[in-house]
């Protein structure tokens, strides 16, 4: 059965800065100082950012989950953990089912690769075998309409062409779990309409979907459950209405 299970997952990022290596900090034996999610570790050491802290979630077949929270709440980091881009610093994650992540669309990109090589490399990064990656080429060719450009190095593409190609590969794969960070704009109005239809079909066919967005209308259209994140922690899990109301109330609180 398709599932994603996180048990007390934390993700920390060490940040090396001029300040953290500074002579004054070293000489004064500056002690660790906690400021929310940022921990300064002195004596020439680094600063640690606690991106996620003690996150536990269980997602199963049929779940349509909205990740809700302000900028910096940890939504994108959580999606990258779920997709396997980030390994937890602490805790464990278990998953079953093929994951399609429309988060890091350029992951695995070699700028010197041709469009055709990009399709196969990106497909393999997303969990396909080489043979399976080759089988999606005709679909991507047709959908992108990039024709002869697919023979050229992707470094020659415009940003819009690159996004179109990466989007086409990501949505060509039949997935069990779909992870998305906002809705993706990938071209002109005609192409956006085609992309929207393709994406909606994918969203309706997967077993589990997790969508991070600030757009309440989009969340209400596709999700019925919510996870509210705050400062890298899960503040609330529940129905979409419960989580949206809790987030709205927190935003209205005076500073």
The residues, ordered by sequence, that sit 6+ positions from 39 with a Cβ below 8 Å of its Cβ are 32, 33, 47, 48, 49, 50
Q: Residue 29: its pLDDT value, please?
A: 45
pLDDT tops 50 at residue 129 = yes
Tokens describing residue 71 = 């900028």
The dihedral through the CA atoms of 115, 116, 121, 124 has a sign that is: positive
Confidence of residue 127 (pLDDT cuts 50, 70, 90): confident
Three-state secondary structure call for residue 132:
helix
pTM of the model: 0.81
> Which of 41-80 are b and which e, b meaning 16 or more Cβ less than 10 Å from the residue's Cβ?
bbeebbbbbbbbbebebebeeebbbbbbbeeebbbbbbbb
Cα gap 175→171, rounded to integer Å? 9
pLDDT of 21 higher than 70: no
State mean pLDDT over 5-15. 93
Do 250 and 230 form a contact (C-beta atoms < 8 A)? yes
Specify the higher pLDDT residue, 192 or 77.
77
pLDDT of residue 167: 87
Residues in contact with 248: Cβ distance below 8 Å, sequence separation at least 6, in sequence order: none
Could you read off the pLDDT of 27-43 as tens digits, one per residue? 444 444 444 677 666 55
The number of C-alpha atoms within 13 Å of 68 and in the hemisphere containing its C-beta is 32
In whole angstroms, give the CA distance from residue 59 to residue 79: 13
91 to 13, 33, 94: CA distances (angstroms)? 15, 24, 10
Helix or strand (DSSP H, E) at 138: helix 137-144
34-48, 51-65, 200-214: which is most confident: 51-65
Token reading at 251: 């935003």
Domains of the chain (ranges, CATH numbers): 3-97+214-252 (3.40.50.300), 101-206 (3.40.50.300)
How far apart are the C-alpha atoms of 225 and 208, rounded to whole Å?
Answer: 11
Structure tokens at 45: 């050491």
* pLDDT attached to residue 47: 80
**Cα–Cα distance for residue pair 99/127, rounded to 1 Å:** 8
Task: Find how far residue 100's CA is from the centre of its chain.
Answer: 10
């Amino acid at each position: 059965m398709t599932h994603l299970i996180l048990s007390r997952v934390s993700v920390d990022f060490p940040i090396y800065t001029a300040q953290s290596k500074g002579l004054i900090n070293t000489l004064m034996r500056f002690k660790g100082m906690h400021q929310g999610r940022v921990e300064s570790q002195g004596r020439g050491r680094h600063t640690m950012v606690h991106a996620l802290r003690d996150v536990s979630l269980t997602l199963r077949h049929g779940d349509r989950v909205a990740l809700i929270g302000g900028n910096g709440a940890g939504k994108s980091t959580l999606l990258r953990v779920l997709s396997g881009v980030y390994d937890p610093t602490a805790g464990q994650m278990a998953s079953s089912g093929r994951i399609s992540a429309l988060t890091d669309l350029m992951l695995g990109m070699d700028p010197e690769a041709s469009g055709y090589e990009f399709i196969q490399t990106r497909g393999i990064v997303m969990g396909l075998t080489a043979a399976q990656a080759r089988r999606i080429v005709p679909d991507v060719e047709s959908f992108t309409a990039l024709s002869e450009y697919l023979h050229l190095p992707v470094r020659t593409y415009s940003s819009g062409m690159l996004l179109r190609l990466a989007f086409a590969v990501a949505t060509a794969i039949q997935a069990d779990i779909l992870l998305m960070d906002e809705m993706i704009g990938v071209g002109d109005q005609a192409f956006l309409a085609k992309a929207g239809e393709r994406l909606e079909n994918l969203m309706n066919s997967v077993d589990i979907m997790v969508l991070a967005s600030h757009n309440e209308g989009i969340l209400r259209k596709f999700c019925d459950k919510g996870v509210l994140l705050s400062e890298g922690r899960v503040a609330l899990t529940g129905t979409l209405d419960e989580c949206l109301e809790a987030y709205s109330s927190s935003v209205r609180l005076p500073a």
